[in-house]
Structure formats: C-alpha cells, structure tokens
C-alpha cells in the first residue's frame, strides 16, 4: 500500500477543511492543524507566544530530520562533484566589509505612519513610478530615494 507523505496528507486535510469552512487565512489553518497534531508550537506559548517563532514538537522534529536527510541525499550524496560543509553564517564584520556587502548592499526601508508596515524604499518608488518617474530605483542612493519619496508625499 502506498502512503502519501505526511506533508501531503496535511495539505490535503487543510484543503478539504478549507472547502467546508471557507476561512480566509490558509496559513492560520495550517499552523492550527500542525499545532493540534504536535508538529509545531508557538515559541514561549505558555507566556503568550512570540510572533513568527515556533518550536518543533515530536512529529515536527522527525519531519524536519526527514526533509534534511532527503535534501542531503539528493544534493550531496548522489553527486560526485559536491561535498558537505557545515559552517557558521556569523562572520567577523571585516569579512562583510572586504566582500563589499556593507558598503555596497543596502535596502533602505520606509515605515508607514498609519499602519507601521515596513516597505523597501526602492520598491515603493518603483510601484509609484507614474508619480515618481523612476522605473528602476535599485541603483539610487539613499539621498536620491529620500528626495523622490518627499516629492510624492
């Protein structure tokens, strides 16, 4: 007997339930189902929880391990031109400076005063290109973006 993978079964159940309840938020339904089944729990749940922070339950730990193992077999063990490497992403700031990441890569953000949402300034300028006249804002300096945004408000 062939069994669908657990993720497929969960997705099928969520889809089946969504057709009945017609609830608008699929992510909320998936999280609730995973929480109910013991896959994940909100971080610090007994103290009110943290937004976007989850701890893995017994089934979640096993599912995560299975996904990692499948990924490792496919991308590392099945190839002769790849080897595994486990390194930290936390690096000395000198590495980031030497690579040009600090000096050359920035994503200036804007904050909406009404809803407190954060948006990349270049994307906001591009989306309002009919007002700003700027089709591609990715290469603009922070000062140029600020000037362009001030003209639109």
Q: Which residues of the chain have pLDDT under 70?
A: 1-24, 153
Say whether 149 sits in a helix, a strand or coil.
helix
Per the listing, tokens 């906001």 go with 124
- pLDDT of 21 reads 52
> Beta strand 54-56 with 109-111: parallel, antiparallel or unpaired?
unpaired
Residue 73 DSSP code: I
Q: How far apart are CA 59 and CA 67, in angstroms?
A: 12
pTM above 0.75, yes or no: no
Task: Report the alpha-carbon angle 118-120-126, nearest 5.
Answer: 130
Confidence (pLDDT) at 71: 96
Supply the pLDDT for residue 39.
94
Q: How confident is the model over 3-37, as pLDDT tens digits?
A: 445 555 555 554 555 455 555 689 889 888 999 99
The 3-state DSSP class for residue 97 equals: helix
* Model pLDDT, residue 61: 96
Other C-beta atoms lying within 10 Å of the C-beta of residue 110:
17
With residue 35 as reference, give the H or E element that holds it: helix 26-37
* Cα 150–chain centre separation: 30
Helix (H) or strand (E) holding 117: none
Q: Is 142:150 a contact under the CB 8 Å cutoff?
A: no
């Amino acid at each position: 007997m062939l069994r669908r993978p657990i993720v497929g079964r969960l997705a099928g159940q969520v889809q089946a339930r969504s057709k009945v309840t017609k609830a608008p938020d699929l992510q909320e339904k998936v999280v609730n189902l995973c929480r109910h089944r013991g896959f994940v729990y909100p971080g610090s749940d007994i103290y009110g929880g943290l937004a976007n922070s989850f701890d893995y339950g017994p089934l979640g730990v096993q599912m995560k391990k299975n996904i990692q193992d499948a990924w490792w077999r496919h991308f590392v063990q099945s190839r002769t031109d790849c080897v595994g490497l486990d390194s930290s992403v936390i690096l000395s700031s000198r590495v980031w400076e030497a690579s040009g990441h600090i000096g050359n890569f920035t994503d200036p953000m804007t904050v909406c005063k009404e809803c407190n949402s954060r948006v990349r300034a270049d994307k906001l300028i591009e989306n309002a290109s009919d007002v700003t006249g700027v089709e591609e804002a990715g290469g603009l300096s922070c000062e140029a973006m600020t000037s362009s945004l001030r003209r639109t408000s």
